[in-house]
Structure 1
Amino acid sequence: MDDKKDDSLLNSIIRHQSYLYRLSSGEVIALLKQFNSESSSMLSKLRDLLDELSDSERVALSGARYTTANLKEIKRILDDWQSFVVTALPESFAVSAVALAVYESQYQAKTLGKKIKESNGESILKQAKRKPFAGGMLIDHMFSDMAESTRRRVEYAIRDGISIGQTNQQIIQHIKGTSKLNYEDGILNQSRQSIDMMVRTARSHVSNTAYEETYKALGVKKLKVSATLDSRTCKFCASEDGNVYDIDDPNRPRFPVHPRNRTVYVPYVENEDEKFAGKRPFVRSAGDAGQVSADTNYKKWFEEQSEDYQREWLGNKRYELYKNGGYTIDKFVDPERKLYTLKELKALDEKTFVDLGL
């Protein structure tokens, strides 16, 4: 693989990530349509039943006692809604994830100019399910955890609403939200945001699993971290950008390492005398974008940014440590890949903080 091929590969993968984001948006919309439909049906049934409750039944419901036929029906409605979320949504996700895995595997092989036998999307998804991502999330649990949390908040809203004298309409509105605010002020909107985040991150996890399985099948030995050159990139991914790992290194980062993580591995051919040729894109702010040399990592790119950009990304005190205290951006991240707090940094480096008056 020569420099020109490396550059073509890097740029192709960066462009491909933008395409995958748009593709994920379509899958998010499809899943949210199912979620919204089932949730609307659940709320309609709840509203009707709440209107039928006697005063004694409302008291019992506020104490989570499902003792009458009406109260047992309310519990059943919530059970059915929760069951739908933990069965129908994962099934829909799995169908699209299998198709994604096949597509990604074939895409990477084609990009590398090689052929592989037809990919087994179900096998790749199975591999992805075995591995935690984004700080411990598991594909098989992501919808069940969200459904349990949402169901609990809905029950709390009903009990609390009854205890403080809210009308049934006010209780339902608290759960659903108001049309004036596009329903973003309701309990269910938190679930919609969770679905958006989880689906995008899980699809990235599936994509990265497909990449690694394909790279291994094609005999790739080393991987290079490729983060995104913009202000949304986290400190850990920025510090990792450009690092090279053996593909079998058990201690290398497993992306995605956090929700909505855009960092990926690209194949790397070791040649200490050569650098990647060509360009890679960056975005400083809306309408301010460009390209830099493909061998430029985030740390090097960051050094060339304005003080305003650096201060905004680091924060004022971390900027002083970076600019005047000899800190590189990787020093702000702990061995567990989390951002050090200023208190933790001061405990580690009291003298520098004193010298800088921080």
Structure 2
Amino acid sequence: MTINKKLRNEAIYHRVNLIGYENNLIRESLKLLDIVDKELTAQLYVALEGMSPSDFKISRLESMLASSKSLKSVTDYLLGELNLLSEHESSYQYSLFESLLPDIVKSKYPLMQIPPSQIFTAVKAKPFQGRLLSEWASNIEDDRLKRVANAVRTGYVTGETTEQIIRRVRGTKKNNYRDGILEASKRNVSSVIRSAVSHTAAIARESFGNANSDIIKGKQWLSTLDTSTTPMCIIRDLKQYTLDNQPIGHDIPYGDGPGKLHFCCRSVETFILKSYRELGINIDEAPSGTRASMDGQVPAKTSYLEWLQAQSKERQEQILGVERARLLRNGEIAPENFFTRDGHVLTLNELKSQELIN
């Protein structure tokens, strides 16, 4: 197996693990958001109880909401995790290449590792989907307060009681509070978290590639091909680009790149290494198993299902769960059911422990 193919396999596996990590961040963030929502609705109840319809003014309500506890706890938690993820991604990219490159290449072209602080600074300074991370947090907060204010105003206009207005805002217990207008904030937070994790991983990958351009000649787009894949990612699957994002052999623009092309983008990319000859190393390519092959070739087209079938039993079980992995190996399950198992979550420590080359 060539090093380029190994890099492609690890890029796909790493993205699978990042999805698990995203799920964990969302779960923990929603716990914090639940606390914030409870406090907001408690304050809202007190304010509405002391306000008669004749006293109601939207400006007074907005002032009260603005002074209530905001989403700062959620934002602080996310920034802290992205800081740690920047450190992990810096180490991951370096360790991956360190483990795969032959000594003859590393001796001539020492690998450069990007400082995590540099990655995290870029994560905060570079926009995704048109806004900085801080701006997305502020936008969610503003949207949340406007939704609450509009719900209260509608309640007053239609003559609802305080309890009815609170239910409109918070939702009902029997529906696990998913029928209130605050539920939209949870969906927004989830989308921003998924995009922020992809944004962080993409910046780390891009920074590493640029710093080691002496051994890397390009990159290849890898889309997750399933029923949820967007057309814009489908048309870019397996397309090649230079390190400065110029198309190679086609005219489809790179856009914001894999993981950042749209909200919740699951695409990744793999680097294309130069061959021994292109690196000025005067040796022939050796058969796989006798020496790591660096032929500079791009791996052939492989679907996600084909990739999954070629992985170790341990990886299959980690992605699908034990029973579905068994069904996969026995050919007893339809391809459309081969997705990351429900509830799959990873902490950062678990993410680190699974990033092993095997």
Instruction: Please say whether Structure 1 and Structure 2 have the same fold, judged by a TM-score greater than 0.5.
Output: yes
Q: What is residue 329 of structure 1 aligned with on the other side?
A: none
| Structure 1 counterpart SS, 2:304 | strand
Task: Name the CA shift for 1:106/1:211 in 2 (closer, same or farther; >3 Å).
Answer: same
Task: Name the CA shift for 1:291/1:280 in 2 (closer, same or farther; >3 Å).
Answer: farther
Alignment of 1:133 onto 2:134: no
Q: What is residue 184 of structure 1 aligned with on the other side?
A: 178
Post-superposition Cα deviations, 1:264-286, rounded to whole Å, max 9, x if no partner, equal: 12101367994526955239xxx
Unaligned regions of 5+ residues in structure 1, if any?
A: 67-73, 284-288, 293-308, 310-358
Report the RMSD for the aligned CA atoms in angstroms: 2.7
- For residues 274 and 226 of structure 2, the distance between their equivalents in structure 1, rounded to whole angstroms, comes to 27
Residue 216 of structure 1 aligns with an amino acid whose one-letter code is N
Residue 140 of structure 2 aligns with an amino acid whose one-letter code is M
**1:201 shift after superposition:** 0.7
Alignment of 1:265 onto 2:258: no
Instruction: Assess if the C-alpha contact under 8 Å between 1:228 and 1:282 holds in 2.
Output: no
Task: Name the CA shift for 1:113/1:278 in 2 (closer, same or farther; >3 Å).
Answer: farther
Which deviates more, 122-131 or 172-181? Answer: 122-131
Greater relative contact order structure (CA < 8 Å, 6+ sep): 2
Q: What is residue 312 of structure 1 aligned with on the other side?
A: none
Post-superposition Cα deviations, 1:153-180, rounded to whole Å, max 9, x if no partner, equal: 1111111101111010110000111122
Q: What is residue 234 of structure 2 aligned with on the other side?
A: 238
Matches within 5 A, 1:332-343: none
Residue 243 of structure 2 aligns with an amino acid whose one-letter code is I
Task: Name the CA shift for 1:291/1:278 in 2 (closer, same or farther; >3 Å).
Answer: farther
- For residues 237 and 301 of structure 2, the distance between their equivalents in structure 1, rounded to whole angstroms, comes to 17
Instruction: Assess if the C-alpha contact under 8 Å between 2:124 and 2:133 holds in 1.
Output: yes
- For residues 5 and 291 of structure 1, the distance between their equivalents in structure 2, rounded to whole angstroms, comes to 16
- For residues 112 and 278 of structure 1, the distance between their equivalents in structure 2, rounded to whole angstroms, comes to 22
- For residues 73 and 80 of structure 2, the distance between their equivalents in structure 1, rounded to whole angstroms, comes to 11
Unaligned regions of 5+ residues in structure 2, if any?
A: 100-109, 247-252, 276-294, 312-334, 336-358
| Structure 2 counterpart SS, 1:223 | strand
Matches within 5 A, 1:1-358: 3-53=1-51, 55=52, 58-61=53-56, 63-66=57-60, 75-81=62-68, 84-85=70-71, 87-113=72-98, 119-134=114-129, 136-219=130-213, 220-249=216-245, 252-255=254-257, 256-269=260-273, 274-276=297-299, 280-282=303-305
Residue 176 of structure 2 aligns with an amino acid whose one-letter code is N
Higher helix share: 1
**1:209 shift after superposition:** 0.3
Normalising by structure 1, report the TM-score: 0.69
What is the identity percentage for the equivalent residue pairs of Structure 1 and Structure 2? 23
Give the count of matched residue pairs. Answer: 272
Instruction: Assess if the C-alpha contact under 8 Å between 1:230 and 1:282 holds in 2.
Output: no
| Structure 1 counterpart SS, 2:201 | helix
Instruction: Assess if the C-alpha contact under 8 Å between 2:29 and 2:74 holds in 1.
Output: yes
Q: What is residue 349 of structure 2 aligned with on the other side?
A: none
